[in-house]
Amino acid sequence: MSRYIVQGGQKLKGEILIRGAKNASYKEMIASLLSEETSQLSNIPNISDIKITQSIAQQLGSQFEECGQHCLKITTPKITNNVVPQGVGIKSRSSFMFSAPLLARTGKAIVPIPGGDKLGSRPLDRLFDCFRKMNIKITENGKNITFETDQIKATDHTFIKPSHTVTETIIMTAVLAKGTTILRNSAQEPEIDDLIIMLNSMGAKVDRHQDDPSTITIQGVEKLSGTKHQVIPDRNEVVTFACAALATKGSVNILRCNPKHVNTFLQTISKMGAKVEVGDDEVNITWNQPLRAVNIETGPEPMFMTDWQALLSILLTQSIGCSTVIERVYPNRFQHIPNLQKMGAKITLFNPKVDNPEEYYQFNQDSNDPKYFHAAKICGPTKLKAAEFEIDDLRAGALTTLAALTAEGTSTIKKVEFIERGYEKLAERLSALGANIEYIKT
């Protein structure tokens, strides 16, 4: 298994360029299948999640041509197979999103049932509720889900709770449906807006209401064309490199990013005492005083993103006082905490007192478990000690890498393939900022 060997204690300083967003790029690859014409996507990150998506698309009839190290041309003249293969399909937790182009172009899609993962189970009831209203029949056999329709119908649907991937899937399904679909209480993440921009450039008619951003209107069209589209920068990378610099008492100038997409994070670290200078497409972040404790709650856009709370945890171990992190999006997202505790961090997991959990939490209560904790109390500052780890989660892996850069001594992080799902050349890019990190690939 591949691993990082990290010698901690080096201040990270310098400039870093942000790659394209993982959570936008692979979904836009799926969206390209809605047209038989060629679409060109640039600023595509070179990560394993992209390769998995490409493999699935190729088995469905897509043809790929590289037009640069971070550019792909995708052409799907005909859907040759409406079954998302179990092997690669099960590796991608969002393989069900392929149901949108398959239904639009063939009227049928068979996708693997997504099982529970390290974050807790991912029920698709919010997707099913809307699909049924769109004249889509749903059948499960314990292994696969079959979606069938003789004609996709427009609908007016209100989500019980906003869901990032479900909102995107419904948008892609509705763009070729007859009539006008209205989605209410929909998710508002910038990756969704980037998908809307791409679809509209293909000839779709999708509009997010300015007076109520949670409402999206999709006027169906008969056909979509190909397009050229540049993927937005990855906001999770911005947060990762910002936390790496602050945890090591350094500074970083982050280029080719959109500061508006990480505004909640920037406000949080400013409150903690970090120096933050914002430009149009760059942000400079500097440690210039001891950081202070802060309390956060994760939630849908525009709240503090759930992907960020693990990364922020390393800063909280180095801050003065006790911080509280409440995770409201997933039932089980504190896999990184044992790694920090192993290094000497002072952290206590607990469940906050909540009068109305059904409304307070974004996850379905039937996916909860008594053994899951939804909050952490982190007290600092603490001198972390090096240790050896074997990771099994993307964000937990990134956090463990940052913790190793902060700790005294040499740490070993195994199974970094999980990190490569979402970060391109992370070790190499951290090294360019002054980190002492060796990547051993096996």
Q: What pLDDT does residue 419 have?
A: 95
Nearest one of 96, 220, 203, 204 to 152, comparing CA atoms: 220
> The domain spanning residue 278 has which CATH number?
3.65.10.10
Residue 262 and residue 179 in one domain: no
* N-terminal to C-terminal alpha carbon distance within the chain: 6
Where residue 415 falls (left for φ over 0; alpha for ψ -120 to 50; beta otherwise) is left
Residue 221 and residue 240 in one domain: no
Of 210, 230, 250, which residue constitutes the final position of a domain? 230
Residue 264 and residue 219 in one domain: no
- List, in order, residues 6 or more apart from 38 with CB less than 8 Å away: 73, 74, 75, 226
Q: What pLDDT does residue 93 have?
A: 67
| Element containing residue 267 per DSSP (H, E) | helix 263-272
Residue 35 and residue 151 in one domain: yes
| Element containing residue 124 per DSSP (H, E) | none
Q: What is the pTM of this model?
A: 0.96
Residue 61 and residue 81 in one domain: yes
Residue 43, domain extent: 22-230
pLDDT by residue for the chain (442 residues), tens digit each? Answer: 899 999 999 999 999 999 999 999 999 999 999 999 999 999 999 999 999 999 999 999 999 999 999 999 999 999 999 999 987 767 776 789 999 999 999 999 999 987 544 444 556 899 999 999 999 999 998 889 999 999 999 999 999 999 999 999 999 999 999 999 999 999 999 999 999 999 999 999 999 999 999 999 999 999 999 999 999 999 999 999 999 999 999 999 999 999 999 999 999 999 999 999 999 999 999 999 999 999 999 999 999 999 999 999 999 999 999 999 999 999 999 999 999 999 999 999 999 999 999 999 999 888 899 999 999 999 999 999 999 999 988 989 999 999 999 999 999 999 999 999 999 999 999 999 999 999 999 8
Degrees (nearest 5) of the Cα angle 350, 354, 356?
145
Q: Do β-strands 228-230 and 275-278 pair in parallel, antiparallel, or remain unpaired?
A: unpaired
Residue 313 and residue 433 in one domain: yes
Residue 370 and residue 264 in one domain: yes
Residue 202 and residue 244 in one domain: no
Number of domains composing the chain = 2
Residue 159 and residue 257 in one domain: no
Q: What pLDDT does residue 122 have?
A: 52
Q: What pLDDT does residue 86 have?
A: 85
Distance CA 171, CA 34 (A): 12
Neighbour count for residue 151 (Cβ, 10 Å): 10
Residue 151 and residue 249 in one domain: no
Q: Do β-strands 251-255 and 137-140 pair in parallel, antiparallel, or remain unpaired?
A: unpaired
Residue 358 and residue 249 in one domain: yes
Of 230, 258, 274, which residue constitutes the final position of a domain? 230
Of 230, 250, 273, which residue constitutes the final position of a domain? 230
272 HSE (CA, 13 A, CB side): 33
Residue 78 and residue 160 in one domain: yes
